Amino acid sequence: MDTRVVAGVDVKSTGIQAVVRPSGEQWNANVDDPGMSKTADVLSSIQPEIIVMESQGGIELPVAGILATAGLPLAFVSRRNVRDFARSIGRIREDENHAALLAYFAQLIRPEVRAIPTDLLEHLKALKTRKEEILSILAQERSRQETNPTPVQRDIRNHIYFLEKSAFALGEEINRAVRSSSIWR
């Protein structure tokens, strides 16, 4: 019996789904900064030997970036490999619990975990830290928006707009860094 702890993470626009094998532990999170952080925190506490995600190059990029900054062992697999695996075990790839299929794939196939280069890890951590700072300032500004006199509200709205653009740009930079890295290929 294989007692290696592995995880499958499925990222869709509707949310993040994660399943751990062999325990069967599973949870869902939103595809937002708190949801991604929750997923990274839970996986860090479990310490799986491998986390498998499909590499589609879209919405899963920021999740991969957060998991990478947490130092978690990631393996990206192609949709085709997962589809072929599902067919070989008699399952439909579009099952409701796709994360469980990815965890099972991790357990049986054991795809390669690529080491995260130190410079990439430092770069991602710096981007994540800065984005968290921007989001904290953004939350403060949003709370001030309704409590200040009208002339100040316009300045606050402008600052909120600038902060939102900055947070978005940092998220895009995280995506670019992950997509162009050796862990993604």
Judge if 40 and 90 occupy the same domain.
Answer: yes
Whether 1 is covered by a domain: the verdict is no
Dihedral pair phi/psi, residue 158, rounded to 5° = -65, -40
Q: Based on the domain organization, do 25 and 91 belong to the same domain? A: yes
- pTM tops 0.85: no
The verdict on residue 12 lying in a domain is yes
State residue 51's pLDDT score: 93
Higher-pLDDT residue of 17 and 182 is: 17
Higher-pLDDT residue of 49, 178: 49
> Residues 17, 100: one domain?
yes
Cα gap 27→170, rounded to integer Å: 27
- The pLDDT, as a whole number, for residue 93 is 53
Looking at residue 6, its pLDDT comes to 93
Q: Are residues 11 and 93 in the same domain?
A: yes
Domain boundary among 109, 126, 142: 109
Residue at 185 is within a domain = no
46 and 95, same structural domain?
Answer: yes
The mean pLDDT value for 126-132 works out to 91
Residue ending a domain, choose from 109, 141, 166 = 109
Contact present, 27 and 18 (Cβ < 8 Å) = yes
State yes or no: cis peptide before 22, omega within 30 of 0: yes
pLDDT band at 184 (very low <50, low <70, confident <90, very high): low
Percent of the chain at pLDDT exceeding 70: 94
Please tell me the predicted confidence (pLDDT) of residue 95: 57
Residue 154 inside a domain? The answer is yes
Q: What is the CATH number of the domain that holds 64?
A: 3.30.420.40
User: Got the DSSP string for the chain?
Assistant: -----EEEEEEETTEEEEEEETT--EEEE-SSHHHHHHHHHHHHHH--SEEEEE--SSTHHHHHHHHHHTT--EEEE-HHHHHHHHHHTT--TT-S-HHHHHHHHHHHH-PPPPPPPHHHHHHHHHHHHHHHHHHHHHHHHHHHTTTS-HHHHHHHHHHHHHHHHHHHHHHHHHHHHHHTSTTT-
Distance of CA 80 to the CA centre of its chain: 21
Range of the domain at 158: 118-179
Quote the percentage of the chain above a pLDDT of 90. 39
Identify whether residues 13 and 95 lie together within a single domain.
Answer: yes
Using the 3D structure, point to which of 109, 127, 156 is the last residue of a domain.
109
Q: Which residues pair with 109 in a beta bridge?
A: none
Together in a domain, 87 and 161: no
The pLDDT of 25-35, averaged and rounded, is: 90
Sheet of 15-21: strands edge to edge? 26-29, 15-21, 6-12, 50-54, 74-77
At 55 the pLDDT is 79
Kindly state the average pLDDT of the residues 119-127: 89
Average pLDDT, the chain: 87
Number of domains in the chain: 2
Domain assignment of residue 138, yes or no: yes
For residue range 59-110, what is the model confidence (pLDDT) as tens digits?
Answer: 888 888 888 888 899 888 888 888 888 888 887 656 568 889 999 999 888 8
Q: For residue 149, what pLDDT is reported?
A: 78
